[in-house]
Amino acid sequence: MAEISAQLVKQLREETGGGMMDCKSALAEAGGDLEKARVILRKRGVAIATKKLSRTASEGIIASYIHVGDKVGVLVEVNCESDFVARNPEFREFVKNITLQIAAAEPRWVSREEVPANLLESEKEIAAAQVKNKPPQAIAKIVEGKLEKFYQTHCLLEQAYVRDQNQTVRDQLTAIVAKLGENIVIRRFVRWKLGESLEAAKPAAPPTPAQPAPTQS
């Protein structure tokens, strides 16, 4: 087994925010390969987060952000299980970054589950009409790909994270759940832009209480 240096453990901790023993264990399992160790840590984070899906998250904070120039404003509610975590600096930093994400990336919903069914059907019809001369199997794959792109554009959890374009907001949420040890839910948000229509400024619909954290809404 490859010897794991303290410097390598330190590098992985800085890149992932994982605990020292978790990083050392992942590196040992990966034979000292940093990239493989990152994947191992992410899988472990998903497993930890999954165990917390049924736990109630009724604490948390409501955060706001006004963009430079006072033309864009954001309000977001992010829930956790305890007031202790709600006061945690890392939790608050995550919530702050979510307000920046919403201001910059303009999501319309928290998750794909919130997208209205009639709108999805309309998107499917438009996508299929654009490639109507292709074979049916090809059309199905193209439509599926266009829907995924739609989700990645308009659903907060599917968007590339503003602080790390190689990860999604969902990835970051899973990581913070694993690190802080509580279920965390991005419950709802509203984004205002000066001069937009009232319809466009309506807040994202709140999720159903049963919806879990990594797929939460």
Q: Are residues 168 and 90 in the same domain?
A: yes
Q: Are residues 95 and 163 in the same domain?
A: yes
Question: What residues contact residue 104 under an 8 Å CB cut-off, 6+ apart?
Answer: 162
User: What pLDDT, on a 0 to 100 scale, did the predictor assign at position 13?
Assistant: 74
Q: Which residues pair with 37 in a beta bridge?
A: none
Question: Under 8 Å CB-to-CB from 66, ≥6 apart: which residues?
Answer: 72, 73, 74
- The number of helix segments (H) and strand segments (E) in the chain equals 8, 5
- Assess if residue 188 is contained within a domain: yes
The CATH number covering residue 47 comes to: 1.10.8.10
Q: Is residue 215 part of a domain?
A: no
* 163 and 108 in a common domain: yes
Cα separation, 160 vs 142, whole angstroms: 21
Q: Are residues 146 and 160 in the same domain?
A: no
- Per the domain annotation, does 180 fall within a domain? yes
**Co-location of 110 and 159 in the same domain:** yes
Q: Does residue 173 lie within any of the structural domains? A: yes
Instruction: Supply the CATH number for residue 179's domain.
Output: 3.30.479.20
- Is residue 13 situated within a structural domain? yes
- Residue owning tokens 């890392």: 90
Domain end: 99, 131, 151, which one? 151
Q: Is residue 176 part of a domain?
A: yes
Residue 203 lies in a domain: no
Domain range for 34 is 6-51
pLDDT of 212 > 50? The answer is no
> Are residue 42 and residue 140 in the same domain, yes or no?
no
Residue 5: pLDDT above 70? yes
Task: Kindly state whether residues 146 and 161 are assigned to the same domain.
Answer: no
Q: What is the pLDDT of residues 25-40, one digit of tens each?
A: 888 888 888 888 878 8
What proportion of the chain, given as a percentage, has pLDDT over 70?
Answer: 82
Do residues 146 and 165 share a domain? no
C-alpha to C-alpha distances, 52 to 49, 55, 56, 149, 178, nearest whole angstrom? 5, 6, 9, 29, 9
pLDDT (0 to 100) of residue 192: 94
- Looking at the predicted structure, is the pLDDT value of residue 2 above 80? no
Q: Do 102 and 186 belong to one domain?
A: yes
Residue 206 in any domain: the answer is: no
Number of domains within the chain = 3
| Residues 148-205: tens digit of each pLDDT | 999 999 999 999 999 888 889 998 898 888 888 888 999 999 999 998 876 655 555 5
This prediction's pTM: 0.69
